[in-house]
Structure 1
Amino acid sequence: MSTAAKSIGMSRKSAYSLRKRPGAESFAAAWDAALEQGRANALSTAIARVMTGVAKPVFYRGRQIGERRTFNDGLLIAALVATAKDNDPALREAMKPFDWRE
């Protein structure tokens, strides 16, 4: 938040004060929309990495001879938790041990 506030010439404290001020509902709505867009981008990136893995170079005698795809099960679990629908109780219950938000 500090970086975002500085980029528009505000301090973190003044941004939070503006957000709470009567009449600043559009500012608060834009703030919330920006946060949601950031979450959506992070989830999209996580899902892409879950599906395709991450390429890691393989070296032999100082030269790259190929690459290996690695997959992260923890990232898969996090993506499942993040996308679990509240109306799917079986999935929510199965993912509950992995959900850091509860």
Structure 2
Amino acid sequence: MANRTIRTAKKRDAFLLALEDTANVTKACKKSRLARRSAYEWRDDDPDFARAWDEALERGTDALEDEAVRRATEGTLKPVFYKGQKCGSVREYSDTLLIFMLKARRPEKFKERTEQQHTGKDGGPILTATVTKEELAEAVRSVRDKF
């Protein structure tokens, strides 16, 4: 049997802290030196660990959201170079992040607005008919006979 990671509170806590820090299971496993397979087995076997996993991932995702808002509203400093030398910096904002945040937080106001309507002749209802194989074959024969 292959070597298995022994379940310890230290391993558990290291993984959960890394998961909260990265919001990424693969990176959390590497950072905490825990095999992904072991992490998922622990999750499947232990409801308390599964709950703590979900909470850590939620906190990590909250941090990502906070960073997206910061980049959209406060921007980031980008260096400016002239003839290979840094001569200053410029603050860049992310309009794309701002758009996504507004759509997520206020969908009633910022969602995409497309509308499709399908109607039949003169705006009436679409009429459908049920045709048997035999009726369809007869219709094809009659059209074929005309040519």
Return the TM-score normalized by structure 2.
0.51
Q: Sort the Cα spacing of 1:8 and 1:62 in 2 relative to 1 into closer, same or farther, 3 A.
A: closer
| Aligned-partner Cα distance in 2 for 1:34–1:76 | 25
Q: Sort the Cα spacing of 1:3 and 1:73 in 2 relative to 1 into closer, same or farther, 3 A.
A: closer
Within the candidate set 32, 39, 43, 1:15 is matched to 39
Shift in Å at residue 58 of structure 1?
A: 1.6
Pairwise CA RMSD of aligned residues? 2.2
Residue identity opposite 2:64 in structure 1: A
Residue identity opposite 1:18 in structure 2: W
Shift in Å at residue 78 of structure 1?
A: 2.1
- Number of the residue aligned with 1:81: 103
Question: Residues 32-73 of structure 1, C-alpha deviation per residue, up to 9 Å, x if partnerless?
Answer: 011001100001111111111111112223332221111221
Residue identity opposite 1:39 in structure 2: T
% identical equivalent positions? 38
Q: Going by fraction, where is strand more abundant, 1 or 2? A: 1
Shift in Å at residue 74 of structure 1?
A: 1.0
| Aligned-partner Cα distance in 1 for 2:71–2:60 | 17
Shift in Å at residue 6 of structure 1?
A: 4.6
Shift in Å at residue 9 of structure 1?
A: 5.0
Within the candidate set 84, 90, 95, 2:108 is matched to 90
Q: Sort the Cα spacing of 1:69 and 1:18 in 2 relative to 1 into closer, same or farther, 3 A.
A: same
| Aligned-partner Cα distance in 1 for 2:88–2:26 | 41
Matched pairs, number: 89
Q: Sort the Cα spacing of 1:67 and 1:6 in 2 relative to 1 into closer, same or farther, 3 A.
A: closer
Which of the pair has more CA radius of gyration? 2
Alignment of 1:51-66 (within 5 A): 51-66=73-88
Farther off after superposition, 41-50 or 51-60: 51-60
Unaligned runs of 5+ in 1: 98-102
Unaligned runs of 5+ in 2: 1-24, 114-147
Q: Which runs of 4+ in 1 moved over 4 A?
A: 6-9
